[in-house]
């Protein structure tokens, strides 16, 4: 920590110099650099000056809670409301995503089928400069306000009106006032969704593969606790998607949990139960006892070949699901080592906010913990994230790994022979696959670029560093284009189309792994 303002000046000077160098490397001229810096530092100062007592209390509380472990947190009222929205995938408001743009609040996008979208009165790019409550309420100034303040003014109970004074994006020299009726907005973009692909299979009919992507383990706690049969949850949505996929006679299923940071423990248990006959799914260890969550329903929603796709950002509830599928030999885990969050949190009301307290650790039915180590896939893909900088093991105060007793459960037949065959097939393809080779080399040059602990503040050194990176990128792009029969390029920024992103490249590999899985499981007489 710096003791006084004087000792901070060298740091501020270095930060400013680094910012200027970055803008020069982006080919900005002197005038645009000065304009960018003026706006950036003005916004930083404005943000600091808008710090209120609630912000200070939140910083203090979380400084205290983080001394216990990284997941014990204080949620102030606005963060508590955002947490509820994230878990229920719904809010009451107009359905607009906003961001600060200098002194204005700008509309980034509209949530499909939300009140703002249906009204045709508000458009992306519009700037909100005032907000009024009801049909006759005073329009209060929103210029220069914090984003959370403006959001709080706009949100409100369904069936009420909010009036917005805006600068339209297509006519910036005028203002107009619009009125929108608030409704319950469903955030379907974060809900589970499905897809079906048809894959050709040499000397065999094409195969249909179902894909279910689950971004988070959501549960509308309020509706569930009230006994509302229409409550929103991951398991209910996936159950419906599985029914639809079975109607399509799929031959295999991929559950995509990449970047799924977890959510409801109940949903992790319930979702696992859709793929198992019955039995324990996870063990919960508190200070005094060990309890277990069970799938008590002997029915199975899907009993065919199953692949669970994970990556470094798959955490918590995702790891419970993947760990159970792995321990029961119910399917194949594919991807990269997961996050390693093996703790359970409870929410306690605290005034208008909440306190999220770590109260237990969870363990797989095998007795293994996911804490720090995560879930290791049966078939490993290239790791897109730097292990040292991501995951539970990179967090200060993270609890250590340990294990507990294995619980009684009936696993399906071991899949060791299939693991071996799938790995052999993947490695043979990986050696020749243009997309996968491109991805591996991108990871290598990025690792080399970020290998140095310090960043040079010498302009010529940074120019040389950038030139070397661009040359390396040009080489691997042209290798990729040559492999797929496209003409080479002269600059790395010249052509980005035609190169699939990392997630797509790895999903394409998973399609091929599934083809092998279906073939080998039939050949070896596997069934679930």
Q: What is the CATH number of the domain that holds 210?
A: 3.90.226.10
pLDDT score, position 213:
98
Q: Is residue 62 part of a domain?
A: no
Distance separating alpha carbons of residues 239 and 225, to the nearest angstrom: 20
Q: Is residue 78 part of a domain?
A: no
Whether residues 351 and 214 share a domain: the answer is yes
pTM over 0.85: yes
Distance separating alpha carbons of residues 471 and 357, to the nearest angstrom: 49
b/e burial code for range 300-337 (CB count within 10 A of at least 16 → b): bbbebbbbbbbbbbbbbbbbbbbbbbbbbbbbbbbbbb
pLDDT score, position 525:
66
Helix, coil or strand: residue 338: coil
Catalytic residue chosen out of the listed positions 233, 316, 366, 369: 316
Q: Is residue 81 part of a domain?
A: no
Kind of pairing between the strands at 379-380 and 353-363: unpaired
Q: Is residue 70 part of a domain?
A: no
Domain of 42?
A: 5-49
Whether residues 266 and 179 share a domain: the answer is no
Catalytic residue chosen out of the listed positions 69, 117, 327, 472: 327
pLDDT score, position 3:
85
Cα–Cα–Cα angle for 364, 369, 370, rounded to 5 degrees: 95
Please say whether the beta carbons of 310 and 329 come within 8 A.
Answer: no
Whether residues 423 and 436 share a domain: the answer is yes
φ, ψ of residue 487 in degrees (nearest 5): -70, 150
Whether residues 379 and 523 share a domain: the answer is no
Q: Is 327 a catalytic residue?
A: yes
pLDDT score, position 423:
96
Burial level of 494, CB count in 10 A (0-12/13-18/19+)? exposed
Catalytic residue chosen out of the listed positions 106, 326, 341, 354: 341
Distance separating alpha carbons of residues 314 and 504, to the nearest angstrom: 17
Whether residues 408 and 442 share a domain: the answer is no
Q: Is residue 345 part of a domain?
A: yes
Strand partners, 335: 310, 380
Task: Count how many domains the chain has.
Answer: 4
Q: Name the DSSP letter for residue 302.
A: -
Whether residues 381 and 256 share a domain: the answer is yes
Q: Is residue 54 part of a domain?
A: no
The stretches in the chain having pLDDT less than 50 are none
pLDDT score, position 174:
87
Cα–Cα–Cα angle for 139, 145, 146, rounded to 5 degrees: 130
Q: Is residue 79 part of a domain?
A: no
Whether residues 431 and 393 share a domain: the answer is no
Q: Is residue 438 part of a domain?
A: yes
Domain-terminating residue out of 186, 218, 240: 186
pLDDT tens string 197-256: 999 877 888 999 999 999 999 999 999 999 999 999 999 999 999 999 999 999 999 999
Distance separating alpha carbons of residues 399 and 363, to the nearest angstrom: 13
Distance separating alpha carbons of residues 291 and 359, to the nearest angstrom: 13
Q: Alpha carbon of 108 to those of 119, 298, 356: distances in Å?
A: 16, 47, 30
Helix, coil or strand: residue 316: coil
Domain-terminating residue out of 140, 169, 186: 186
φ, ψ of residue 96 in degrees (nearest 5): -130, 135
Whether residues 400 and 474 share a domain: the answer is no
Cα–Cα–Cα angle for 385, 389, 393, rounded to 5 degrees: 105
- DSSP codes, 408-438: P----S--HHHHHHHHHHHHHHHHH-HHHHH
pLDDT score, position 496:
59
Whether residues 194 and 178 share a domain: the answer is no
Whether residues 400 and 445 share a domain: the answer is no
């Amino acid at each position: 920590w710096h003791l006084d303002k004087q000792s901070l000046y060298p740091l501020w000077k270095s930060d400013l110099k680094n910012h200027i160098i970055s803008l020069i490397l982006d080919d900005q001229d002197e005038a645009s650099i000065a304009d960018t810096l003026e706006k950036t530092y003005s916004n930083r100062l404005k943000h600091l000056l808008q710090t209120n007592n609630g912000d200070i209390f939140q910083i203090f509380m979380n400084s205290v809670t983080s001394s216990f472990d990284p997941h014990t947190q204080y949620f102030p009222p606005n963060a508590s409301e955002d947490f509820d929205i994230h878990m229920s995938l719904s809010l009451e408001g107009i359905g607009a995503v906003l961001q600060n743009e200098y002194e204005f609040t700008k509309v980034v996008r509209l949530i499909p089928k939300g009140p703002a979208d249906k009204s045709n009165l508000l458009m992306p790019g519009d700037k909100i400069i005032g907000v009024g409550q009801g049909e006759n309420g005073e329009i209060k100034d929103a210029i220069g306000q914090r984003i959370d303040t403006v959001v709080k003014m706009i949100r409100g109970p369904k069936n009420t009106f909010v009036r917005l004074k805006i600068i339209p994006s297509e006519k910036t020299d005028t203002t107009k006032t619009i009125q929108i009726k608030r409704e319950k907005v469903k955030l379907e973009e974060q809900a589970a969704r499905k897809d079906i692909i048809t894959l050709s299979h040499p000397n065999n009919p094409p195969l249909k593969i179902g894909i279910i992507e689950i971004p988070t383990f959501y549960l509308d706690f309020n509706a569930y606790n009230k006994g509302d049969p229409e409550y929103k949850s991951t398991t209910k949505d996936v159950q419906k998607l599985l029914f639809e996929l079975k109607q399509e006679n799929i031959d295999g299923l991929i559950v995509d949990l990449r970047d799924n940071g977890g959510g409801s423990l109940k949903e992790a248990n319930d979702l696992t139960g859709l793929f198992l006959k019955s039995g324990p799914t996870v063990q919960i260890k508190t200070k005094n006892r060990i309890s277990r969550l069970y799938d008590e329903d002997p029915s199975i929603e899907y009993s065919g070949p199953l692949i669970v796709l994970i990556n470094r950002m798959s955490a918590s509830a995702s790891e419970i699901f993947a760990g159970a599928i792995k321990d029961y030999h119910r399917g194949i885990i594919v991807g990269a080592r997961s996050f390693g969050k093996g703790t359970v949190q409870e929410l306690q009301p605290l005034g208008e906010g909440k306190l999220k307290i770590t109260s237990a650790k969870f363990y797989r039915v095998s007795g293994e913990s996911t804490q720090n180590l995560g879930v290791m896939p049966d078939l490993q893909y290239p790791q897109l994230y730097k292990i040292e900088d991501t995951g539970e093991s990179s967090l200060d105060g993270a609890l250590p790994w340990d294990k507990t007793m294995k619980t009684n459960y009936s696993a399906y037949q071991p899949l060791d022979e299939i693991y071996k065959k799938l790995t052999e097939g993947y490695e043979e393809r990986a050696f020749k696959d243009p997309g996968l080779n491109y991805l591996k080399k991108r990871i290598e040059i990025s690792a080399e670029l970020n290998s140095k602990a310090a960043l040079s503040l010498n302009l010529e050194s940074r120019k040389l560093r950038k030139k070397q990176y661009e040359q390396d990128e040009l080489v691997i792009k042209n290798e990729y284009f040559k492999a797929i029969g496209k003409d080479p390029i002269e600059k790395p920024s010249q052509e980005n189309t035609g190169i699939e992103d990392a997630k797509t490249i790895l999903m394409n590999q998973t399609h091929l792994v599934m083809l092998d899985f279906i073939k080998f499981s039939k050949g070896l007489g596997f069934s679930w």
